[in-house]
Structure 1
Amino acid sequence: MLDYCPYSDSAATPAAHVAILLCTYQGEVYLAEQLDSIAAQSHPHWTLWVSDDGSRDGTRDILEAYQRRWGQHRLRLRQGPLQGFAANFNSLLADTNIQADAFALADQDDIWHSDKLARAVAWLDAGDPKEPRLYSARTRLVDAQGGFIGLSPGCRAPGFANALVQNIASGNSMVLNAVARQSLIEAGLPRAGLHDWWCYQWISGIGGELLFDSQPCLDYRQHGGNQIGMQTGLISLWPRMKRLWQGQHRLHLDAQLKALEERQAWLMPIHRQRLQALQAARRRRALACLYGVWQSGVYRQSWLGQWAMYLAAILNKF
Structure 2
Amino acid sequence: MKKAEDVAILMSTFNGADYIEQQINTIRAQSYTAWTLYIRDDGSTDTTVSLIRQLMLTDQRIVLCAEPNPVNLGPARSFMTLLAQTEADYYLFADQDDFWLPDKIEKTLNVMRRLNQHDPNLVHTNLSLADKDLNVLVTSFNDVAYDDVQSLLLANDITGCTVMINRQLRELVRQDCDIPCMHDMWLGLRAVMFGNVAYLKEPTILYRQHGSNVVGSTTSKVAKVRTFNSPAEKERLVTTVLTARTLLKRYGNHFSAAERQTLLTLAQLGQVSLPRSLWRIKRNRIYKHSFLATASFILKLTLNYSSLKSNI
Which TM-score tier does this pair reach, normalised by the shorter chain?
A: 0.7 to 0.9
| Inter-partner Cα distance in structure 2 for 1:45 and 1:279 | 43
- 1:282 deviates by 5.9
Which residue does 1:8 correspond to in 2?
A: none
Q: TM-score, normalised by structure 1?
A: 0.86
SS in 1 for 2:80: helix
Matched residue type, 2:160: G
Contact 2:10–2:92 under 8 Å retained in 1: yes
- 1:43 deviates by 1.2
- 1:308 deviates by 1.7
- 1:167 deviates by 0.8
The yes-or-no answer on 1:53 pairing with 2:38 is: no
- 1:191 deviates by 4.1
Aligned pairs for 1:191-270 within 5 A: 191-204=179-192, 206-243=193-230, 247-265=234-252, 267-269=254-256
Deviation by residue 1:257-295 (Cα, 9 ceiling, x = unmatched): 232233124744364453234335664333331231233
SS in 2 for 1:141: strand
Deviation by residue 1:176-217 (Cα, 9 ceiling, x = unmatched): 11111111125x23344222121122221x232112221111
SS in 2 for 1:247: helix
Contact 1:194–1:256 under 8 Å retained in 2: no
Which residue does 1:168 correspond to in 2?
A: 157
Contact 2:90–2:164 under 8 Å retained in 1: yes
Contact 1:49–1:77 under 8 Å retained in 2: yes
Structure 2 CA distance for partners of 1:101 and 1:283, relative to 1, 3 Å: same
Structure 2 CA distance for partners of 1:315 and 1:34, relative to 1, 3 Å: closer
Deviation by residue 1:29-61 (Cα, 9 ceiling, x = unmatched): 111110011011111111100001121211111
Contact 2:94–2:161 under 8 Å retained in 1: yes
Q: TM-score, normalised by structure 2?
A: 0.87
Percent of residue pairs bearing the same amino acid type: 24
Match of 2:58 among 69, 72, 94: 69
Structure 2 CA distance for partners of 1:298 and 1:39, relative to 1, 3 Å: farther
- 1:117 deviates by 0.8
| Inter-partner Cα distance in structure 2 for 1:281 and 1:30 | 40
Aligned length: 302
Which residue does 2:33 correspond to in 1?
A: 44
The yes-or-no answer on 1:105 pairing with 2:93 is: yes
The yes-or-no answer on 1:123 pairing with 2:111 is: yes
Which residue does 1:87 correspond to in 2?
A: 77
Contact 1:137–1:213 under 8 Å retained in 2: yes
| Inter-partner Cα distance in structure 2 for 1:265 and 1:246 | 27
Match of 2:130 among 138, 142, 145: 142
Deviation by residue 1:46-91 (Cα, 9 ceiling, x = unmatched): 11000011212111111101111112x5434324531222221121
Which residue does 1:159 correspond to in 2?
A: 148
| Inter-partner Cα distance in structure 2 for 1:147 and 1:316 | 35
The yes-or-no answer on 1:78 pairing with 2:89 is: no
Match of 2:17 among 13, 28, 52: 28
Which consecutive residues of structure 1, in runs of 5 or more, have no partner in the other structure?
1-10
Which consecutive residues of structure 2, in runs of 5 or more, have no partner in the other structure?
none
| Inter-partner Cα distance in structure 1 for 2:284 and 2:45 | 47
Contact 2:12–2:42 under 8 Å retained in 1: yes
Contact 1:23–1:51 under 8 Å retained in 2: yes
Match of 2:167 among 169, 178, 197: 178
Using the TM superposition, name which of 219-228 and 80-89 deviates more: 80-89
Using the TM superposition, name which of 145-154 and 263-272 deviates more: 263-272
Structure 2 CA distance for partners of 1:15 and 1:267, relative to 1, 3 Å: farther
RMSD after superposition:
2.4
Structure 2 CA distance for partners of 1:167 and 1:156, relative to 1, 3 Å: closer
Match of 2:120 among 132, 148, 151: 132
SS in 1 for 2:299: helix
- 1:301 deviates by 4.6
Matched residue type, 1:88: S
Structure 2 CA distance for partners of 1:233 and 1:267, relative to 1, 3 Å: farther
Structure 2 CA distance for partners of 1:281 and 1:35, relative to 1, 3 Å: closer
Using the TM superposition, name which of 263-272 and 159-168 deviates more: 263-272
| Inter-partner Cα distance in structure 2 for 1:181 and 1:298 | 30
Matched residue type, 1:223: H
Structure 2 CA distance for partners of 1:310 and 1:238, relative to 1, 3 Å: closer
